[in-house]
Amino acid sequence: MGIVPDYAYLPLAFMFLINLVTYYGTRLITDHFKHYDISVSLDNRLPFWPVFIIPYLFAFVQWTVGFIVISRSSKAYCYKVISGEIFSKLIVCIIFVLFPTTVFRNEISGQDLCSQVVAFIYRIDAPTNLFPSIHCLESYICMRTALEMKEVSKKYKTSMIVTGLLVFMSTLLVKQHVVLDVLGAVVVAETGRFIAEFIFAHQFGKKAGREYEY
């Protein structure tokens, strides 16, 4: 077996495609729509800490490792988690179109490396498609599955939880997202999981449902 099993390549590729369509494709529709600022008073009180761009970018490593581990767990578990992920992304896609959001960004004045990296991210990533946060949604799925999988070590579980929480914090402290974006990501991720659970249980029956159990 390679890095991921043969059965996982197509689901992972389809998941990646859905992610691209959700994040970039919807902007072709919503670029000229009115965008809403859903920040709350807590967002205004949170500091801007450029150093948190480090866990923000490290999230991509977390997702890669997380989905490799998920895919290697079992075919049934891989399909069910990725199905939940795809359902979540379809929900996000609808929200992005029907309720586009934006966020106020700080002017970057620092000359340190982290500040310059944040400034670069700001330049290449428009402050749209924010609610719910895809960044937080992906990290939450990695955390959630790490806690569920019995075959992974406590060290892996801890690393996924710590990394995920740092990613949540990073989205707020580099002002890429607001509090409601984070909360929305958790709700949508759980909704996608619930839909996948419902479909798999009814499609394969109780006996197969236990096989596909998270």
pTM for the whole structure: 0.92
What secondary structure does DSSP assign to 47-69, as a single string? Answer: ---GGGHHHHHHHHHHHHHHHHH
Banded pLDDT at 208 (limits 50, 70, 90): very low
Residues 178 and 172: their CA atoms lie apart, in Å, by 6
Is 205 a residue whose pLDDT tops 80?
no
Amino acid identity of residue 202, one-letter, is: H
Q: Is residue 22 within 8 Å of residue 14, measured between CB atoms?
A: no
Model pLDDT, residue 211: 47
What secondary structure does DSSP assign to 141-191, as a single string? Answer: HHHHHHHH-TTS-HHHHHHHHHHHHHHHHHHHHTTSS-HHHHHHHHHHHHH
Preceding omega of 55 cis (within 30 degrees of 0): no
Number of C-beta neighbours around residue 214 at 10 A: 15
Bridging pattern class, strands 101-102 and 36-37? parallel
Q: Is residue 168 within 8 Å of residue 139, measured between CB atoms?
A: yes
Banded pLDDT at 109 (limits 50, 70, 90): confident
Residues 162 and 183: their CA atoms lie apart, in Å, by 17
**Pick from 19, 125, 132: which is nearest to 67 by CA?**
19
Banded pLDDT at 214 (limits 50, 70, 90): very low
Model pLDDT, residue 200: 78
What secondary structure does DSSP assign to 16-49, as a single string? Answer: HHHHHIIIIITHHHHTTS--EE---HHHHHS---
Q: Is residue 48 within 8 Å of residue 186, measured between CB atoms?
A: no
Quick one: average pLDDT of 6-26?
Answer: 95
Is 29 a residue whose pLDDT tops 60?
yes
Banded pLDDT at 203 (limits 50, 70, 90): low
Number of C-beta neighbours around residue 211 at 10 A: 14
